[in-house]
Amino acid sequence: MISLNGIEKVIKKGNRVVHTLKGITLNIEQGEIFGILGHAGAGKSALIRTINFLDPPSRGSVVIDSCDLSTLSATGIREARRQIGMIFEHFNLFNTRTVFENIAFPLELSGISKNKIATQVRALLSLTSLSDKAEAYPYQLNSEQKQRVAIARALANQPKVLLCEEATHGLDQKAKQSILELLREINSQLKLTILLITHEIEVIKSICNRLAVLHKGEIVEQNTVIEWYSKPKTDASKAFIRAETQLDIPASLGNRLLTEPCENTNTILRLSFSKSAAEEPFIALVIQQFKLSVNIIQAHLENFQIHSVGIMIVEMVGERTEVHQAITFLEHKDIHIEVIGYVARTA
């Protein structure tokens, strides 16, 4: 449904040439909820403006529903955008229009009859649970209701794709989950392809099946959400997960951490595992089979829709040969191992 092929975006800032997007290649399937995760400055806004051709790429192609946008005239691009719904962090509603009139606006621009507009808007009000707010103005709504209006308006032209830029940022926890549930329902009912661009892992893990990590204008990692969370491959991903779980080694241990092993040091590991791996008492098995002592420093269980991922930071105390054998044993049980470092033995 959405195919990005070698997208580059180059801009000039004074005498400097800045590459805001660098070789972005992504394929998002029909009916998928796909997440793009990135910190501020990663290039998220540049990417979303490129996808809807508000700011065309310097190089590369954007293909939506088999249509290469770069081959279209200005008129053709305007027509293609009707198939691309867009919602923003700040709602962008018309304050002088009622909820009904805000949702009707894109239909009016399309020249649709008033009777058909009324029918479509009423259906969208029902879908977004806003039927009782049709005559209200934006100032009379809370943030969640405003975002529901923005979503209904984005759906007015019956798009094939819905782009969401930080659509839940600034909402309280209850409102955030409510909006995410609405997006899940829209995806299910309308078979709509949804692309979520966000800096919040919570958004990704709640409704996305796959994700890509955007870092300094590049896609540095792509995977299913479960595989990415349990087996991150890049420093950018690992930093996101550590910040989300607040799971790291205590300062008292971190101050003594060595990057290379030496005599009389213990190995500090980060273990990531799915629910199936957790069904076995693997820590007990390591202790029994390899005659090691295992100190669990921190542990965390994260839920993803119908799946769970566990993360542990452990200290393995014993001979280095046995530690290596234990790591191999754990990896065969589909447990992801990251060696954090080494600390001198205290006893």
Asked if residue 158 has pLDDT above 80, the reply is: yes
Q: Cα–chain-centroid distance for residue 31?
A: 16
In the chain, what percentage of residues exceed pLDDT 70? Answer: 97
Specify whether 13 is located in the same domain as 125. Answer: yes
Specify whether 188 is located in the same domain as 283. Answer: no
**Final residue before a domain boundary, out of 231, 259, 285:** 231
Specify whether 209 is located in the same domain as 287. Answer: no
Specify whether 173 is located in the same domain as 27. Answer: yes
Q: What is the pLDDT of residue 103?
A: 96
Specify whether 184 is located in the same domain as 288. Answer: no
The answer to whether residue 77 is domain-embedded is yes
Mean pLDDT of the 315-337 span: 91
Mean pLDDT of the 260-289 span: 84
**Final residue before a domain boundary, out of 165, 198, 231:** 231
Mean pLDDT of the 4-33 span: 91
Over the stretch 239-265, which tens digit does the pLDDT of each residue have? 888 887 766 777 777 788 888 888 889
The answer to whether residue 239 is domain-embedded is no
The answer to whether residue 238 is domain-embedded is no
Specify whether 13 is located in the same domain as 98. Answer: yes
Asked if residue 298 has pLDDT above 90, the reply is: no
The answer to whether residue 242 is domain-embedded is no
Specify whether 111 is located in the same domain as 11. Answer: yes
The count of structural domains within the chain is 2
The enclosing domain of 293 has a CATH number of 3.30.70.260
Over the stretch 211-237, which tens digit does the pLDDT of each residue have? 999 999 999 999 999 889 888 889 999
The enclosing domain of 218 has a CATH number of 3.40.50.300
Task: Give the separation between CA 159 and CA 181, rounded to whole angstroms.
Answer: 19
Q: Which residue has the higher pLDDT, 22 or 17?
A: 22
Q: What is the pLDDT of residue 347?
A: 56
Specify whether 225 is located in the same domain as 299. Answer: no
CB neighbour burial string for 17-36, b if at least 16 within 10 angstroms, e if fewer: eeebbeebebebeeebbbbb
Mean pLDDT of the 193-213 span: 93
What is the average pLDDT value for the chain, to the nearest integer? 90
* Element containing residue 109 per DSSP (H, E): helix 99-109
Q: Across the beta sheet with 16-28, what order do the strands follow?
A: 16-28, 2-13, 59-64, 67-68
The answer to whether residue 241 is domain-embedded is no
The answer to whether residue 302 is domain-embedded is yes
**Final residue before a domain boundary, out of 178, 203, 231:** 231
Mean pLDDT of the 294-304 span: 84
Query: CB–CB of 328/316 below 8 Å?
Result: no
In the chain, what percentage of residues exceed pLDDT 90? Answer: 58
Q: How confident is the model at residue 278 (pLDDT cuts 50, 70, 90)?
A: low
The answer to whether residue 197 is domain-embedded is yes
Torsion of CA 115, 120, 121, 125, to 10 degrees: 140
Q: What is the pLDDT of residue 255?
A: 80
Asked if residue 276 has pLDDT above 70, the reply is: no
Q: What is the pLDDT of residue 17?
A: 84
Specify whether 129 is located in the same domain as 192. Answer: yes
Specify whether 201 is located in the same domain as 264. Answer: no
Cα distances (Å, whole numbers) of residue 15 to 11, 22, 42, 321: 10, 20, 22, 57
Task: Give the separation between CA 304 and CA 310, rounded to whole angstroms.
Answer: 11
Asked if residue 59 has pLDDT above 70, the reply is: yes
Q: How confident is the model at residue 105 (pLDDT cuts 50, 70, 90)?
A: very high
Mean pLDDT of the 10-24 span: 88
Asked if residue 126 has pLDDT above 90, the reply is: yes
Specify whether 16 is located in the same domain as 137. Answer: yes
Q: List the domain range (segments joined by +) for residue 321.
A: 247-344
Task: Give the separation between CA 267 and CA 290, rounded to whole angstroms.
Answer: 14
Specify whether 253 is located in the same domain as 131. Answer: no
The answer to whether residue 240 is domain-embedded is no
Tokens for 295? 């100190």
Torsion of CA 300, 201, 233, 41, to 10 degrees: -140
For the chain, the residue count is 347
Tokens for 123? 């259906």
Q: What is the CA radius of gyration of the chain?
A: 24
